[in-house]
């Protein structure tokens, strides 16, 4: 009875150890805080923020009026002529705004500014999703360490059982030696898992802008997978929610403004001109007021080519938007399919598959203690049970990562 009691203790220790340790749940609240921190501290998001601020200044830089021109001319002649005509000529010229050009330039700058704002959202989402995926991977690493620790505990108890069994007359110590070798191998796997955990935690610290060696508490992922959104509903939200598509739509608007700018630029340039002639001795001679007009006729072909080029770029921008929408729709389909598959497998591995493997392991252990099954059968059944439990955790983590990808493609905030 002593031996069988120890064996049953070893059988269920894997299930108890995982729940014995307190760990922080990687839920939406936890991930949301990490996303915010990554978007605030990552240099990629900061760079996009500066570009958006610069684009806002570009709007203020649009001018309605061109700078006026002031001229000064001096005459070199005999005194009589200078007294008669004036020897100082002052001129002032102010170009007039072309109708609609200021509005078109401002419309383009505004569209580019909105595009940069969407690019900022995209950069923030990308660095936030990367940090969230690292946190999910870190939680999976912690789960794997816990499972590996329980595996070591089980093997340690099996080594003790094998040593007790070898005391019986006619028994050998072969099983104990094999189990000790298996235990040594699992200890190496455990150490490798810990090193992997350290690497993932350091990578997460880099994403968040924290010191490289900042410590993380044990993390865990939910036992059951989350609901999976419907792909068609998510695809329908692309034009409203995806920052890349929204940015490209704004760029298409900027291309439309370019066409209007090119059309306005071929209009004649008008300018108001003032002129006066003075004598250096102090006498005023005259004042002239005039209107100047540019003649765009000679560059008509150049203006037409610029308008046509702008129209073609506008059409290309519209097609780029549609191409991006189709590409993102394909990514959404992949993400929702991955999430659904992972969820289905996680539920299966937590249900009938696990129960059958557990029952088989219990049966083999009972059979091994009565010398009816070999140690090989015992180890194989235990490895299968361990693999199923680890795979269930992996599938939940895979679903969380797929949902994170989906949230980056069509964010809900």
pLDDT number for residue 396: 96
* pLDDT higher than threshold 60 for residue 5: no
**Mean pLDDT within 11-36:** 71
Tell me the pLDDT tens digit for each residue of 237-268: 999 999 999 999 999 999 999 999 999 999 99
* pLDDT higher than threshold 70 for residue 184: yes
* pLDDT higher than threshold 80 for residue 405: yes
With beta carbons less than 8 A apart as the criterion, state whether 379 and 340 touch: no
| Residues contacting residue 237 through CB under 8 Å, at least 6 positions apart | 410
* pLDDT higher than threshold 90 for residue 360: no
Q: Which residue has the higher pLDDT, 152 or 283?
A: 152
pLDDT number for residue 1: 33
Rg (the chain; Cα; Å): 38
* pLDDT higher than threshold 50 for residue 14: no
* pLDDT higher than threshold 70 for residue 8: no
Average pLDDT over the chain, rounded to an integer: 88
Helix (H) or strand (E) holding 173: none
Q: Which of 315, 142, 325, 184 is nearest to 247 (CA)?
A: 325
CA 183 – CA 160 distance, rounded (Å): 12
* b (16+ CB within 10 A) / e for 371-404: eebebebbbebbebbbebbbbbbbbbbbbbbbbb
CA 261 – CA 99 distance, rounded (Å): 10
Q: Domain 2-409, what fold? A: Outer membrane efflux proteins (OEP) (1.20.1600)
* Percent above pLDDT 90 for the chain: 64
Tell me the pLDDT tens digit for each residue of 92-107: 999 999 999 999 999 9
CA 170 – CA 188 distance, rounded (Å): 33
pLDDT number for residue 171: 55
pLDDT number for residue 357: 87
pLDDT number for residue 39: 92
How far, in Å, are 310, 316, 318, 391 from residue 323 at the CA level?
20, 10, 9, 37
pLDDT number for residue 56: 94
**Tokens at 34, concatenated:** 């990490």
- The residue ranges of every structural domain in the chain are 2-409
pLDDT number for residue 3: 38
Task: Let me know how long the chain is.
Answer: 413
**Picking from 88-97, 285-294, 336-345, which range would have the lowest pLDDT averaged per residue?**
285-294
Task: Specify the DSSP class assigned to residue 299.
Answer: G
Global pTM? Answer: 0.81
What residue has token string 């937590």?
350
């Amino acid at each position: 009875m002593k031996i069988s009691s120890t064996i049953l203790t070893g059988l269920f220790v894997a299930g108890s150890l995982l729940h014995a340790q307190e760990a922080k749940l990687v839920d939406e609240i936890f991930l949301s805080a990490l996303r915010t921190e990554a978007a605030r501290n990552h240099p990629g998001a900061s760079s996009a923020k500066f570009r958006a601020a610069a684009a806002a200044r570009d709007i203020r830089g649009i001018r309605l009026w061109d700078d006026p021109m002031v001229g000064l001319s001096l005459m070199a002649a005999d005194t009589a002529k200078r007294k008669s005509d004036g020897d100082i000529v002052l001129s002032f010229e102010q170009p007039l705004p072309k109708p609609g050009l200021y509005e078109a330039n401002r419309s383009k700058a505004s569209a580019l500014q909105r595009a940069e704002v969407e690019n900022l959202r995209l950069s923030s989402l990308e660095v936030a999703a990367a940090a969230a995926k690292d946190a999910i991977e870190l939680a999976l690493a912690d789960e794997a360490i816990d499972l590996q620790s329980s595996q070591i505990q089980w093997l340690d108890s099996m080594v003790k059982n094998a040593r007790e069994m070898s005391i019986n007359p006619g028994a050998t110590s072969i099983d104990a030696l094999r189990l000790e070798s298996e235990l040594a191998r699992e200890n190496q796997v455990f150490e490798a898992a810990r090193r992997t955990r350290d690497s993932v935690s350091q990578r997460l610290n880099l994403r968040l802008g924290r010191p490289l060696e900042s410590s993380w508490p044990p993390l865990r992922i939910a036992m059951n997978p989350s609901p999976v959104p419907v792909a068609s509903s998510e695809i329908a939200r692309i034009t409203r929610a995806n920052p890349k598509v929204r940015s490209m739509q704004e760029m298409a608007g900027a291309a439309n403004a370019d066409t209007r700018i090119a059309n306005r630029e071929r209009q004649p340039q008008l300018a108001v001109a003032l002129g006066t002639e003075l004598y250096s001795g102090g006498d005023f001679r005259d004042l002239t007021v005039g209107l100047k007009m540019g003649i765009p006729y000679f560059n008509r072909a150049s203006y037409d080519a610029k308008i046509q080029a702008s129209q073609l770029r506008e059409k290309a921008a519209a097609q780029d938007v549609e191409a991006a929408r189709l590409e993102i729709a394909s990514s959404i389909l992949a993400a929702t399919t991955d999430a659904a598959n992972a969820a289905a497998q996680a539920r299966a591995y937590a249900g009938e598959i696990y129960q059958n493997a557990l029952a088989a392991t219990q049966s083999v252990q009972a059979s091994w203690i009565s010398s009816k099954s070999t140690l090989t059968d015992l180890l194989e059944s235990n490895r299968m049970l361990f693999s199923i439990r680890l795979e269930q955790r992996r599938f939940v983590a895979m679903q969380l990562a797929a949902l994170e990808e989906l949230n980056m493609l069509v964010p809900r905030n």
